[in-house]
Amino acid sequence: MNLKTTAALFVVGLLLAPVVAGSYAFASKSGPGTSTGTGTVFLPNPVAELQNQTLSDQKDADFAELQPAYHAVTLSNLDGSGFLVGDWATVRSSTGPLAFSATNDFNYDRHDDRFEQVMAYFWITESQKYIQSLGFGSTLDPLNDVSQKVRLNQWGVDNSFADDKHDEIRLGKGGVDDAEDAEVILHEYGHAMHFSQSATFYTSNESGAIGEGFADYWAVTVSNVISPTADSPCVADWDSVSYTVAVPHCLRRVDRDLVYPGDLNGRVHHDGQIWSRALWDIRGALGHVKADTIILQGQFGFPGTSMADLALRTVDAADSLYGNAEANAVRAAFQARGILQ
Ligand SMILES: [Ca+2]
Ligand SMILES: [Ca+2]
Ligand SMILES: [Ca+2]
Ligand SMILES: [Zn+2]
């Protein structure tokens, strides 16, 4: 679903056969044929990391104040082709050539569109590795454990969306290029996770709000696990400098004091902030490992009904995974939002 408006049609969640990891156990150096490489990325974005609210797009220039925000990372799970294709992400591009490296070294600056390809590969791969670290795919059911297609798209408007029909995430170029902000990538991956968990997740306005709220939550929880920053509840601190005036720049926040049903206004991105705040409070009470395991487990098979229904499913997930104390903490977070009585 796109970030700023509702548009994408939900047809059916397409589940592809899992990509089997190659046997690279004896690889001793990076390069085609091996599964690891190097990349240069933002962690998660320059504004969040540097806490500098004066940074701006400057027409995609690679200016001096941004230099401390570039970081060298290891890219994992590559398929050995020399492209940014691997177990958990398949990068495609409509904005120029695909990144290719005969040595698996993918180091570009933001003015080079291939930088965004590296961002997409890294953050989607790390997102799936985090999901698996919670037990999904081993002790729990797998969750979107496919090579997620992601396309860098030359969009004139400032938008990104996840498209369930083609099972593809598309990241746009309006304002700050969307894929220069890990939290935009992670938000869209959150929708792809939903598509994989239930074919009827997005069938009501209320489940649409849940979708946006969860996607915002997923952006900040993964961002915070991999590269914690000072103002964690602020979503898309860098992408939003192009369309927000207030400081700090945030597309949305997951810590707003909105309640159900009084603060509903029918706009899914706004209403989703009721849901994301409940998830954020669960995380605050239980820590990210328990909270995220519970939240993800509760979403399997959700038929797209109401906030109250998914809240009860999440309480049940907490009870069966961990027990009474955790179930009570989850219930309290939803009660504080007015979602449960
Ligand atoms: Ca760029
Ligand atoms: Ca943008
Ligand atoms: Ca942030
Ligand atoms: Zn969305």
Q: What is the pLDDT of residue 154?
A: 72
Identify the three-state secondary structure at position 109: coil
Ligand 2 centre from 243 Cα, in Å?
A: 9
Give the strand pairing for 37-42 and 105-106.
Answer: parallel
Which ligand sits closest to the CA of 159?
2
pLDDT band with cut points at 50, 70 and 90 for residue 33: confident
**Per-residue pLDDT reduced to its tens digit, 7-31:** 333 322 222 233 333 333 334 456 7
CB 88 within 8 A of CB 120: no
Which ligand sits closest to the CA of 214?
4
Stated as kind and residue range, the H or E segment containing 91 is strand 89-93
**Per-residue pLDDT reduced to its tens digit, 241-271:** 999 999 999 999 999 999 999 999 999 999 9
Q: Does residue 4 surpass a pLDDT of 60?
A: no
Q: What is the pLDDT of residue 25?
A: 36
Give the strand pairing for 252-253 and 148-152.
Answer: unpaired
Mean pLDDT over each residue of the chain, to the nearest integer: 91
Ligand 2 centre from 290 Cα, in Å?
A: 32
Q: What is the pLDDT of residue 269?
A: 97
Q: How far apart are the first and last CA of the chain?
A: 30
pLDDT band with cut points at 50, 70 and 90 for residue 164: confident
Ligand 2 centre from 214 Cα, in Å?
A: 20
pLDDT band with cut points at 50, 70 and 90 for residue 153: confident
Ligand 4 centre from 275 Cα, in Å?
A: 13
CB 85 within 8 A of CB 91: yes
Structure tokens, 316:
């049940």
Computed from CA positions of residues 89, 92, 96, 99, in that sequence, does the dihedral angle turn out positive or negative? Answer: positive
Contacts of 66 (CB under 8 A, 6+ apart): 46, 55, 110
Mean pLDDT score, 179-196? 96
Q: Which residue has the tokens 């991999």?
A: 226
Q: Write the DSSP assignment of 144-185 as a string of letters.
A: S-S-EEEEE---SSS-EEEETTTTEEEE--SSS-GGGSHHHH
Ligand 4 centre from 108 Cα, in Å?
A: 28
Q: Write the DSSP assignment of 208-235 as a string of letters.
A: HHHHHHHHHHHHHHHHHHHS--TTTTEE
CB 185 within 8 A of CB 172: no
CB 86 within 8 A of CB 79: yes
| Rounded CA separation 208/264 (Å) | 13
Mean pLDDT score, 210-223? 98
What b/e sequence results for 287-322 when a residue is b if at least 16 CB atoms lie within 10 Å of its CB, and e otherwise? ebebbbbbbbbbbeebebebbebbbbbbbebbbebb
- Beta-strand (E) ranges in 172-326? 234-235, 252-253
Chain-centre distance of CA 266, in angstroms? 23
Ligand 4 centre from 239 Cα, in Å?
A: 14
Ligand 2 centre from 195 Cα, in Å?
A: 23
Which CATH superfamily is 37-336 part of?
Neutral Protease Domain 2 (1.10.390.10)
Q: Against a cut of 0.95, is the pTM above it?
A: no
Which ligand sits closest to the CA of 173?
2
Domain ranges of the chain: 37-336
Q: Does residue 167 surpass a pLDDT of 90?
A: no
Ligand 3 centre from 220 Cα, in Å?
A: 6
Q: What is the pLDDT of residue 11?
A: 26
Ligand 3 centre from 247 Cα, in Å?
A: 13
User: How many H helices and E strands in the chain?
Assistant: 7, 9
Which ligand sits closest to the CA of 231?
3
Q: Does residue 204 surpass a pLDDT of 50?
A: yes
